[in-house]
Amino acid sequence: MFSSPPPLAPPTSEEDKLAWLRLLRSRRVGPTTFYRLMAEHGTAEAALAALPEVAAAAGVTQYSACPREIAQREFSAGKRAGARLLAAGEPHYPKALRDIPDAPPLLWAQGDLTLLNAPTLAVIGARNASSLGRRMAARLSSELSKAGHAICSGLARGVDTEAHKAALEGGTIAVVAGGVDVTYPQENAALMRQIAEGGLVVSEEPPGLQPQARHFPKRNRIISGLSRAVVVVEAGARSGSLITARMALDQGREVLAVPGHPFDARASGCNLLLRDGATLIRGADDVIEALGLQQVAPQPAAATPKPAPAPADLPRAAQRPQAETRSLHARILGLIGPSPVAEDQLARDLSLPAQRLSENLLSLELDGQIARQPGGLIVKTA
């Protein structure tokens, strides 16, 4: 495990915080360089003054620090978005995050700031999660949230989305790769608004920034850094979730994983983690036991909703546009893996009438892409 950054005196005024922002947004200054400059020069203003000389010594000519106007625009944009800029060392800045080696010196936060220092667990996994993976993420997050733990994730499709939804009532933290006012993916716009109102949205990036590929690993270190442990529900062998798990280990966090079927590529990353020593998780009680947390109070089982009845005038699948049928088939196959899934569960996951789902399952079965098993179970063929 790496050492944490040296302690800093937090900014004492808005002007001081603006200087921090200017220093952090200056070219070639990331968290590690920020902390080194602050340690050497004492204040952000002094570090800004020294930057051109430091850059020249490194062979960079005609260097200039981030202009005050640009930092001021970011500061104003954050305020308009209803977000607050937190600096390392301030009371609301998360203590757990401060311990990681490349902790963000500044963090934009929108929502309930008390969640930043609440006991937190990360629940992460595949964007193309199976039906079983989605349900596992939702159940874990719901029960761990009811036990008093904030659930942290990355607002991505699949496992992240289910984790946030299930933990809305108890408190959930969405760490986003773009600005706190930018929704990605767009389909989670309503969910992001709900989290901002009742939970917390966090980012180290400027408001208005559209996320790019390089931003996601940076986001992932914050997810693991905020959390006592990272629970991986489904993850491919080369997935971002596996990168987050490795970051968690480097940060001294616990890594727990849900096992999956050996034939399902979405479970290969979890199975690798388990092979390498991660704690196997079958449910929330296993997380509680592994981490020595407070026991989850038993919750009454929810009644299983019935699939919506098919409208009488619903057209047959064969009469639907081919593009629509292909899209639906892709969604169905995305939820099915080598582990059997019940047909009525698929109907609920897809919000489809039973008749329409049955027609499409028959088409996929005739095409050799799925197989039926006793008890109304469906599996994807090899």
pLDDT of 94-117, one tens digit each? 999 998 989 999 999 999 999 999
What would the mean pLDDT of 8-21 be, rounded to a whole number? 94
Helix/strand/coil percentages in the chain, nearest 5: 45, 10, 40
State the Cα–Cα distance between residues 333 and 340, nearest whole angstrom. 12
- Quick one: tokens of 62? 């005609």
Taking the alpha carbons at both ends of the chain, their separation in whole angstroms is: 41
**47 has a pLDDT exceeding 50:** yes
Q: Which two tokens stand for residue 332?
A: 């169905």
Query: Rg of the chain's alpha carbons, rounded to an integer?
Result: 24
Three-state secondary-structure class, residue 375: coil
CA angle at residue 148 from 121 to 228, to 5 degrees?
25
Predicted pLDDT of residue 380: 83
| Position 302 pLDDT exceeds 60 | no
List CB contacts of 47: < 8 A, sequence separation 6 or more.
23, 37, 38, 40, 41
Residue 351 pLDDT level (bands cut at 50, 70, 90): confident
Give the integer Cα–Cα distance in Å for 33 and 36. 5
What interhelical angle do 44-57 and 14-25 show, nearest 10?
Answer: 20
Element (H, E) at 379: strand 377-380
pLDDT category of residue 254 using cuts at 50, 70 and 90: very high
Q: 216 in helix, strand or coil?
A: helix
pTM of the entire structure? 0.79
Q: What is the mean pLDDT of the chain?
A: 88
Contact 222, 97 (CB under 8 A): yes
Residue 319 has pLDDT above 50, yes or no: no
* Structural contact between residues 312 and 351, judged by C-beta atoms closer than 8 angstroms: no
Alpha helices (runs of H) in 14-67, residue ranges in sequence order? 14-25, 31-41, 44-57
Least confident of 63-77, 108-122, 319-333: 319-333
With contact defined as beta carbons under 8 Å apart, do 337 and 380 qualify?
A: yes
